[in-house]
Amino acid sequence: MKRRPVPLAISLVAPLFALLLFAIAPLAAAASGASVSAPAHVAIGKNVTVWVSGRTATDIASGAGVSLELQPTANRGGNGIAAAPKFSAYVVGQRVEVTFRWPSFVQSCFGASECVNTPWHIGSRADVDVCAQSPDGAFDNCGMTTVVVRR
């Protein structure tokens, strides 16, 4: 099948925006009918490929932008801890392939401008959120899966 690149909606997320995204992403993922498939374990600094299907993939294939966010599962709910790595996204048939390198750190933010890099805890769970973003900046559909961070 032919791979078609898709526009990237966000490359770096402002801390305030990350708070909003992680507050709504789990709810949007549950309601969207989207599916995100990822390896059970990921290694820091290694490439990771996730596959998105369902409504999120349909929106992306129709021209919506894509955003990718990583967050420790223990911090799910938008309390200012997130990572937004650079990634590539391609439409492959009815699915979207998203590839990125797992970052060494996650940003912990205490307000809009007070962020520090915090290393991932080895053995901890992390949420991988992939969202389709419409041109007006609204998140149409999000899909989420959980992985375990390894060394």
Q: Are 139 and 32 in contact (CB under 8 A)?
A: no
Residue whose token pair is 């309601």? 31
Where do runs of H (alpha helix) occur along 9-128?
Answer: 15-32, 55-61
Buried b (16+ CB within 10 A) or exposed e, 44-69: eeeebebbbbbbbbbbbbeebbbbbb
pLDDT at 35 (0 to 100): 94
95-101 and 139-150 as β-strands: parallel, antiparallel, unpaired?
unpaired
Both tokens assigned to 137: 């900046």
pLDDT in tens, 44-60: 999 999 999 999 999 99
Q: What pLDDT score was predicted for residue 12?
A: 40
pLDDT (tens digit per residue) in 9-37:
544 444 434 444 444 454 444 445 789 99
> Which pLDDT score is estimated for 9?
57
pLDDT tens profile 66-120:
999 999 999 887 668 899 999 999 999 999 999 999 999 999 888 778 889 999 9
Phi, psi of 101 (to 5 degrees): -100, 130
How far out from the chain centre does Cα 6 lie? 15
And the tokens for 124?
């901890």
Name the token pair of 86.
């650079």
pTM score: 0.79
d(CA 66, CA 31): 18
